[in-house]
Structure 1
Amino acid sequence: MTSKANRPCVQKLRCLLSVAVGILCAQSLAFRNVDSAAFDSFANLTAKGLDSIAQFGPAGSIALAACLGALFYRIYPNFKRVGKRNQLISVILSFFLALSIVVPRLMKLPNVSFNSFPNYVGGVPKWHKPIFWMVASIQLLTIGFTLAVIICWLMRKAADLVECRNTGEVSTAIPPTNLSIWERGVRFFDGKPMHMTVATLAMVLCWLPMLVIQGPAIIGVDSMVQLVQFRTGHVWDPMTMAELPGYVGQDHHPFFDTYLYGLFDELGLWLGQEVLGFRILIVLQSIVAALAIVVSLIWIKKRTNLPDSCICACWCLAAILPAFPMYMSIVLKDSTWVSIFLLWMVAFFEVIYRCNNNHAIGWRLVLCLVVLGLFSGLTKKLGIYVTTVSLLLAIIVIRKQFAAFLISMLVPAALVIGFVPMVVLPALDIAPGGPQETISVPIQQLSKVAILHQDELSKSDRQAIDRVLDIDHLKPYWQADSADYAKHYGYRLNASSSDRKNFILTWIRLFFRYPKDYIAAVPYLINPFVYGETYYYSGPVRCGWWEAGGSRILTEYPECGLSYTQGKIAIPLTNALNKTPPFSFIGSEALYTVWLPMLALGLTISIRRYRNLCYLIPTVVSWCSLFLLPAHQVRYTLSFLFVFALTIALPFAEVLTKERNISN
């Protein structure tokens, strides 16, 4: 124990250490431009470092350093109090989280720049320069050290919450007149219909200004394909550009969404103003999204011991963060799907909660999982695979309630994967989607190997590749930032299922011969896991496929043109949010795809609630699904943003004793 005489010295050392860490961490966050001449000499390094800090602004740099130093000073004592075990956990977590900030400097992507502050520009790393490794090490150590201290502080807070609930120190008899603002606010998440309605409508009202600014609607390329096919009957495969005569639509994009968007388009025409139909759709999907977020907060209030202040803060974040209404203003399958998936996640969490507490699942909950799983698969094809695999893993891990899990898993999968393509699509004269979509990553990787090592491949390997891909044709068009080019220019339409099977077997076998080329072929797969892109987005009212009939959709708006509010407010606002801390951080994709799940994992292990790790199953499955996508777009990780509150509450889900009952 430190004596009283030595305490001033210890405090001075802590103060100096905090100042040093704050300055180093601020410089580490501000420094960038790894593709420049910064690492040629210490003089260039100093000059480029000062330039980076100057771009942030001297006042901003000083403020960032002071805030980080003060934060470090306040919470550093917690690092010693959590014990060796939790210190090790925090160090491991902080290392991976720090990598998500440092790695963008090391990426070899000459033509790609991230949009958010500190606006790291990818380039060719100077691996041979010792200065390069020195800077990378300093960045990793300073950021990681600061994060480790913060994580230890979070561990102390989490342990205090759990201990307080276990010892029954939570007061439940507070007079209504003495309720705090948080206790008053959290009453809106008690599950009562009136309170649920108020919380939902209040969130939509908070979103309304952004919905107006983004208005009247944002219709991207994918949705334009669906609207053109629904309106004109001109059907083609948007990936291979092959005409599909005799069909009224194609399932490349989910047919359910096509009919949904088409019906609202027709509604607008019937009302005398086409855009009015899309405005109604945007309002409705905003209401459903807000309701889904409120339902998740209700579950958190009832099933976890997360503090009332945190629950209210989650509602405030969802209501105020522009990213939520920005994506609700888009006519897009991801925006339509994410609310359904969030509700499915709440139902999944309830199933895990009941299993962990030895309580029957009940047929209503099973029916809820079946219906939500079905619509999740109908609105986004990847959704059915995430829900099905998650339930399968839950059966393996939990080994309880087999009948309920099997019904929840098999019924939606059988309907979406079996009944729809074999019965529904033929009955509606809808062409199935191209089979190349499911093997996008193998196509991208094998095409690169075939281009670079064609002479080294065996005759059988070349034949297996050639039956699926036209390497000579796609070679000039191949690009590392997306597999769409390889699919578009290389995939052979006459490839059979047997050809694709042999192609996949060849892909698996050649991985062990060319692992570096496989990794180099898909550099975009790392993007969701590093600090760069944000969820702030705006775009034109309609864009794409004018030559195929797209000019007939919303004729009053120019091709790829912005509305007045989009051009004057939305685009400048998006650029400002991307480059202004802390908005660039709280809107960052990596915060929701990596930071929150990793912190939830670490806190769960720290407080020894190992059963709660089962709640992470859909997150892990969603992580794995990101490695199968043909390209990186922020909308592909939209589910991580919307389930943020459930992720935060995951370590605090209660594991009840036998004496306590579960309320319905």
Structure 2
Amino acid sequence: MNEVCMFSRSERNGVATRSVWPVQWLDWTKRRLGLMALSLVLGILAACGEMLRSQGDLVWSLVGLVHGLCYAAIAFMFVLLLELGMRWLSREDDAQATYRISFRHNFRGWGVLFLIIVLCWMPYVIALYPGVMWYDTSNQLLQWNHLPNLFTDGQLTDHHPIADTAIFGLFVQFGNLIGSGDLGIFLYTMIQTVVTASAMAYCLLYMRRIGASHRLCMAALAFVSLFPIFPMYSSPMVKDSLFLPIMVLFGVQCVEIVRSRGEVLRRTSFWGTLIGLALALSLTKKTGMYIAILVCLLLVAVTRRGLRRRLIVVVAAVAAVMMIMLPKVVFPLADVAPGGKQEMLSIPFQQSARLLRYYGDAILKEQRDAIERVLGEDVAQRYAVTSADAVKGYVWDSEKDRYLLPYAKAWLQGLAEHPLTYVEAFLGMESAWLALPNAGDEHVGDLLMPVYAQGTNHSFFEGHEQLGLTASDTTMASRVEHLIDWAERTPVGMMLFSRAIWTTWMTAFVVYECLRRRRHDGWLRLLGVTPLVVSYCFLWISPVSGSIESMRYMVPQVYIMPLAFAVLAVRSMGTATTQPAGIQAVDTKEVVAS
């Protein structure tokens, strides 16, 4: 096989000859037109994000154009460097070599990886005793104990997944039985860490089983064990920590479906596990239902005809539980209030707020009144470029339901008259997925991947004492948090911990490499990474992208990235071939610029 690189050999009359430099350059340029286009798009988007954060609009200047071209050049080099790294990591293993860490697909192999990961994560868990609890969790615990909270006077609500609320509440209740609610949180922290480490160890074993090289698997093990985002987001008592290991295991199932063309669905155990994981995704995160349904529907394309109905059953089971059983049966019986409409309407609400902020005096009175009846008369003053929280609020008044139809008409009218304003409002909310961090930005932390450790003090909210929670010394937690934040703000750290790189750029790289192989098996590889791609798409409905809370939205991208890279690196997406081969394994003739 020839390497996909600039200095590849060309075949002429069956004899390998080295092309002259101009021909080489022209051939390489033709094959890289797709990368050039992708880099230009990424550069323009990065410049757009930067402009919205710094000046609040998309008014281009010479400086902005130069920045966009510089970002495009960085994106181009980023992809080339990743390809070089993947080629090196994916070199075929020496058949005579022996490895202390063999990644054998058995219990012992899994146990070795599990112990390595846990030992590397455990210092964080100990330093953060008695466990980190986020603000959202405090409201869930108050609801579970029927105490006043941000959303209700004590009634349970589906604003946050009710399954998460129940799990957290039961752990704190058990903690109070054995000493204090703080012990319950720490017990949850320990169990959640073990569960997530188990899932990651299994994922690494699976990567090796499908043909990833030993070197790539070792790099993935080092990444999972040492990258601080993993232990800092695996252990806290927060809804996203429950979701992470489920997402990783669901990703493994999806790759196996693609590799077997759906044949693995014949096994009842596999099919049942897939249904269970899809339901668990849906029950632990609001977007989980849509991720599970969309991914399963996309996998129908690669599944053999007789087995497609099994994927449809998975979709039907998720839809039945989440759209019928819970809201129509369980919630009324348990007196659970539904979540508010403001969350799913955050994008149009933000667009309307920007419209009133900049064109409030120019639009018709009827249009303005329709917007203000839903969002309030002071919505223009509450508008912020990068967040919709102040506009949408946290609680929905059902009295506003009757005003939604006139509001929809006003929104459409605004779209027709001021489309750029709507684009600016949308991209401003999602700018952290686009803009690269730079040292000159006083809010550079919004573009990085900060961690939250102050939640080790469980007395930060009113009503904590009624839950059996107490104040704790946060000195050690603060040191951990500040050390990681300092590392992120270094020149190297700003690249390693960039939100835009770990979301938009990494996903773009994976999709690009799949499409380059579309005449080989690129479409199969693309289907294999659908959990990553679909999860990324749902980042774009976030009401905010630059806050510490929005970090939790993007963390699944980091957790599933090693598996996505393995899908790129293996020689074949079929079950028969397990020999590892790198990104260079596809013949040059099969690689098409896109």
Aligned to 2:222: 316
Aligned to 1:602: 512
Query: How many Å separate the matches in 2 of 1:255 and 1:320?
Result: 33
Q: What code does the residue aligned with 1:609 have? A: D
2:464 to 547, 550, 566: 550
Query: How many Å separate the matches in 2 of 1:412 and 1:391?
Result: 11
Q: What code does the residue aligned with 2:463 have? A: G
Aligned to 2:160: 253
Answer yes or no: is the 8 Å Cα contact 2:208–2:217 preserved in 1.
yes
Answer yes or no: is the 8 Å Cα contact 2:351–2:421 preserved in 1.
yes
Q: What code does the residue aligned with 2:77 have? A: T
Q: What code does the residue aligned with 1:136 have? A: H
Aligned to 1:206: 120
Query: How many Å separate the matches in 2 of 1:603 and 1:266?
Result: 49
Query: How many Å separate the matches in 1 of 2:163 and 2:65?
Result: 54
2:209 to 298, 302, 307: 302
Aligned to 1:476: 381
Aligned to 1:494: 399
Deviations 1:198-217 (A, max 9, x none): 21122011101122223322
SS at match of 2:175: helix
Change (3 A) 1:78 1:434: farther
The TM-score, its normalising length taken from structure 2, stands at 0.81
Q: Percent identity?
A: 23
CA drift of 1:643 comes to: 0.3
Query: How many Å separate the matches in 2 of 1:570 and 1:519?
Result: 39
CA drift of 1:236 comes to: 4.9
Alignment RMSD, CA only? 3.5
Query: How many Å separate the matches in 2 of 1:144 and 1:278?
Result: 42
Query: How many Å separate the matches in 1 of 2:354 and 2:574?
Result: 56
CA drift of 1:285 comes to: 0.8
CA drift of 1:144 comes to: 4.7
Is 1:136 paired with 2:67? yes
**Pairing 1:83-162 to 2, within 5 Å after superposition:** 83-98=28-43, 106-109=50-53, 122-123=54-55, 130=62, 132-133=63-64, 135-136=66-67, 139-140=70-71, 142-144=73-75, 146-147=77-78, 149-150=80-81, 153=84
CA drift of 1:485 comes to: 1.4
Aligned to 1:60: none
CA drift of 1:261 comes to: 0.9
**Pairing 1:584-623 to 2, within 5 Å after superposition:** 584-607=494-517, 608-610=520-522, 611-623=524-536
Aligned to 1:52: none
CA drift of 1:309 comes to: 0.2
Aligned to 1:282: 189
Deviations 1:247-266 (A, max 9, x none): 3x111111111111111111
Aligned to 1:646: 563
Aligned residues: 541
Is 1:445 paired with 2:376? no
Aligned to 1:538: 452
Q: Which has the larger radius of gyration?
A: 1
Deviations 1:528-564 (A, max 9, x none): 2333333341332367996752354565317xxx612
Answer yes or no: is the 8 Å Cα contact 1:336–1:379 preserved in 2.
yes
SS at match of 2:400: coil
Aligned to 2:17: none
Deviations 1:7-52 (A, max 9, x none): xxxxxxxxxxxxxxxxxxxxxxxxxxxxxxxxxxxxxxxxxxxxxx
Aligned to 1:340: 246
**Pairing 1:185-200 to 2, within 5 Å after superposition:** 185=101, 187-188=102-103, 190-200=104-114
SS at match of 1:431: coil
Query: How many Å separate the matches in 1 of 2:352 and 2:58?
Result: 28
Q: Relative contact order (C-alpha < 8 Å, sep 6+): which is higher? A: 2
Change (3 A) 1:587 1:138: closer
Q: Which ranges of structure 2 fall in alignment gaps of 5 or more residues? A: 1-20, 438-446, 580-594
CA drift of 1:659 comes to: 7.6
CA drift of 1:364 comes to: 2.3
2:476 to 565, 568, 572: 565
CA drift of 1:381 comes to: 1.2
Deviations 1:575-602 (A, max 9, x none): 2211234344333323321232222222
Deviations 1:436-468 (A, max 9, x none): 222111122123324544555557655653553
Query: How many Å separate the matches in 2 of 1:582 and 1:405?
Result: 44
CA drift of 1:655 comes to: 3.8
Is 1:519 paired with 2:410? no
Change (3 A) 1:206 1:81: farther
SS at match of 2:484: helix
